[in-house]
């Protein structure tokens, strides 16, 4: 029996996971961490969670389209992605360009304009610019993967899985330091690029989980394994795992990627679980709904929050996080309601041939 992944219009709990991911990222950029709580210094793992979610969601959408209509329209897929990702992204770059033109001599302006070509072309993950929008490295990573992955899925179908596994091995060769010498010689030392530290591993694992959940035999096995008690266990182990002290390179980072991929599968397979109901808490789900905007806007929001707090004589990372998160959510909510949502309506023209809504509509983080 196929797991219940193909007969729903909304997956309970996923917005909550997106919210946790983006809140962790905002925390990471606002707070240096708490000495006795290692997890408080590992907020960057929120991006890895975004990657795994995106890999699963988008691949599931493509597989559903092929099952329902016998083919995948790459044109429709890329138009839908462009309508979801590009409007707010390029609008923000344009607004920041206009803002910084007013103060071209500032350090923030100089760094931004130096990095702007990389941001605008989605290659910032390979140059790691020192810019207010350096966070776009994660969006570049996703767009590069989805420039390659959907055509491979169309041409190879299930035969693409061995290629994914080979790519996964290559990513782990980087993660475990085997290529450190070569990377340093090439002018890309491991510690200088976020993409080398996160790698494409969580996206690939999300893609593989999408195949697993939609395969009759593998899906049934996963459903037997990812029971309600197992979901509790996954939550507990993941919470302990993110408290790994010090460097997460190697097995700790890979372990986290595996855990969050299994956690996503557990949430999908156990929609009535208490954990899933908690993830559906309305404020949390709302943040998840606008998480793409929160991610894009949180660095400018934190900069604004820092200036407001400085005028008030407040120098507290906790206050910076709370005010920055509040401003990010407010700005993202306004953007989603008045700018993004009207444009998203155009996606209906690029759905399936009879314009029926697919069962899952992947919102990006990032991204997501």
Domain boundaries, the chain: 14-350
SS3 37: strand
Count the alpha carbons within 13 Å of 9 in the hemisphere toward its beta carbon: 2
The residues that bridge with 197 in the sheet, in sequence order, are: none
- Can you give the pLDDT at residue 1? 34
- Can you give the pLDDT at residue 344? 79
- Can you give the pLDDT at residue 353? 52
- Can you give the pLDDT at residue 268? 96
* pLDDT at residue 34 greater than cutoff 50: yes
Q: What is the mean pLDDT of residues 353-366?
A: 43
Backbone dihedral region for residue 177 (phi beyond 0: left; psi -120 to 50: alpha; all else: beta) = left
- Can you give the pLDDT at residue 150? 95
- Can you give the pLDDT at residue 83? 92
Phi, psi of 37 (to 5 degrees): -125, 90
Residue 1 belongs to what H/E stretch? none
Least confident interval from 94-108, 197-211, 300-314, 323-337: 94-108
- Can you give the pLDDT at residue 128? 86
Sign of CA dihedral 191, 194, 196, 197: positive
Stated pTM of the model: 0.91
* pLDDT at residue 366 greater than cutoff 80: no
Closest CA to 78 of 158, 149, 5: 149
* pLDDT at residue 2 greater than cutoff 60: no
* pLDDT at residue 355 greater than cutoff 50: no
Asked whether 272 and 294 are in contact (CB, 8 A), the reply is no
* pLDDT at residue 360 greater than cutoff 60: no
Q: With bands split at pLDDT 50, 70 and 90, how would you rate the model's confidence at 249?
A: very high
The residues that bridge with 34 in the sheet, in sequence order, are: 37
Cβ neighbours around 214 below 10 Å, total: 18
Residue 327 CA: distances (Å) to CA of 112, 237, 293, 305: 21, 32, 11, 8
- Can you give the pLDDT at residue 104? 73
pLDDT tens figures, 295-350: 999 999 999 999 999 999 999 999 999 999 999 999 999 999 999 988 877 766 67
Q: With bands split at pLDDT 50, 70 and 90, how would you rate the model's confidence at 11?
A: confident
pLDDT tens figures, 35-91: 999 999 999 999 999 999 999 999 999 999 999 888 899 999 999 999 999 999 999
SS3 34: strand
Q: What is the mean pLDDT of residues 109-118?
A: 94
Q: What is the mean pLDDT of residues 210-223?
A: 94
Helices (H), 159-227: 161-175, 180-185, 194-198, 201-214, 216-225
* pLDDT at residue 19 greater than cutoff 50: yes
Cβ neighbours around 326 below 10 Å, total: 12
> What six digits make up the tokens of 175?
């993660």
- Can you give the pLDDT at residue 346? 74
Closest CA to 28 of 52, 13, 46, 50: 46
């Amino acid at each position: 029996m196929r797991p219940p992944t193909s007969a729903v219009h909304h997956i309970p709990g996923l917005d909550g996971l997106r919210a946790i991911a983006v809140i962790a990222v905002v925390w990471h950029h606002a707070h240096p961490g708490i000495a006795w709580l290692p997890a408080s210094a590992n907020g960057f793992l929120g991006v890895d969670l975004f990657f795994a979610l995106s890999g699963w969601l988008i691949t599931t959408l493509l597989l559903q389209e092929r099952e329902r209509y016998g083919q995948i329209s790459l044109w429709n897929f890329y138009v839908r992605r462009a309508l979801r990702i590009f409007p707010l992204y390029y609008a923000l770059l344009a607004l920041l360009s206009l803002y910084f033109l007013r103060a071209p001599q500032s350090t923030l302006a100089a760094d931004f304009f130096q990095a702007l070509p990389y941001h605008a072309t989605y290659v910032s993950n390979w140059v790691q610019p020192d810019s207010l929008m350096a966070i776009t490295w994660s969006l570049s990573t996703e767009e590069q993967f989805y420039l390659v992955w959907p055509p491979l899925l169309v041409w190879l179908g299930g035969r693409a899985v061995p290629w994914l596994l080979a790519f996964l091995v290559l990513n782990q060769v980087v993660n475990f330091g085997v290529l450190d010498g070569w990377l340093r010689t090439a002018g890309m030392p491991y510690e200088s690029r976020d993409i080398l530290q996160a790698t494409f591993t969580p996206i690939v694992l999300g893609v593989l989980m999408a195949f697993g959940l939609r395969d009759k035999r593998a899906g049934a096995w996963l459903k037997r394994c990812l029971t309600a008690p197992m979901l509790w266990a996954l939550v507990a182990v993941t919470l302990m795992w993110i408290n790994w002290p010090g460097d997460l390179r190697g097995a700790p980072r890979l372990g986290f990627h595996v855990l969050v991929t299994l956690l996503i599968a557990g949430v999908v397979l156990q929609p009535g679980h208490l954990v899933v109901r908690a993830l559906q808490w309305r404020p949390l789900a709302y943040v998840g709904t606008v998480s793409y905007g929160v991610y894009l806007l949180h660095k400018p929001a934190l900069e604004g929050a820092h200036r407001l707090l400085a005028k008030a004589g407040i120098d507290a990372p906790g206050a910076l996080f709370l005010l920055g998160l509040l401003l990010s959510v407010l700005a993202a909510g306004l953007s989603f309601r008045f700018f993004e949502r009207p444009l998203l309506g155009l996606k209906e023209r690029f759905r399936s041939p009879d314009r029926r809504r697919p069962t899952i509509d992947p919102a990006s983080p990032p991204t997501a």
